[in-house]
Chain A
Amino acid sequence: MIVEYAAPETYKGIKIHGYQTRERIEGRVKPQIDHVMGLTKTEALLVYVADVRRPPEARLLAGAMLEALFNLAVQDRRERPSINMDLVRAHTAGLDESSPWRSPWSYGCIADGPDSEGRPIPLTHEELKQSQMGR
Chain B
Amino acid sequence: MTRAQRHALLQRQVVLMVADDYPAEVIAEVMQIPLDRLKAMFARQLKYGKAIVRAEELLRLDAQSESGKTAATKRLLETAAGAAKELGVKSDKAKVDQATIVATALTLIPGGRK
Binding site for B on A (CB under 8 A): 10, 13-15, 37-38, 40, 60-61, 64-65, 67-69, 71-72, 75, 96, 98
B residues near A (Cβ < 8 Å) are: 70-71, 74, 94, 98, 100-102, 104-106, 108-113
Residue pair A68, B104 in contact (C-beta under 8 Å):
yes
- Does A96 contact B110, Cβ atoms closer than 8 Å? yes
What is the chain B residue whose CB lies nearest that of A57? B109
Considering the complex of A and B, which 8 residue pairs feature the smallest CB-CB distances, nearest first?
A13-B113, A15-B111, A64-B105, A68-B104, A64-B108, A65-B105, A68-B105, A13-B106
User: In the complex, which of the residues B70, B98, B105 contacts A61, with contact meaning CB atoms closer than 8 Å?
Assistant: B105
Asked whether A96 and B74 contact (CB < 8 A) given A61-B105, A68-B105, the answer is no
Chain B residue at minimal CB-CB distance from A95? B110
Instruction: Pick from B71, B102, B111: contact of A75, CB below 8 A.
Output: B71
Inter-chain contact A72/B70, CB cutoff 8 Å = yes
User: Which of A37, A67, A71 contacts B102, CB < 8 Å?
Assistant: A37
27 contacts between A and B (CB under 8 A): A10-B111, A10-B113, A14-B106, A14-B109, A14-B111, A14-B112, A14-B113, A15-B112, A37-B102, A40-B94, A60-B110, A61-B109, A64-B106, A64-B109, A65-B102, A67-B105, A67-B108, A68-B70, A68-B100, A68-B101, A68-B108, A69-B101, A72-B70, A72-B100, A72-B101, A72-B104, A75-B71
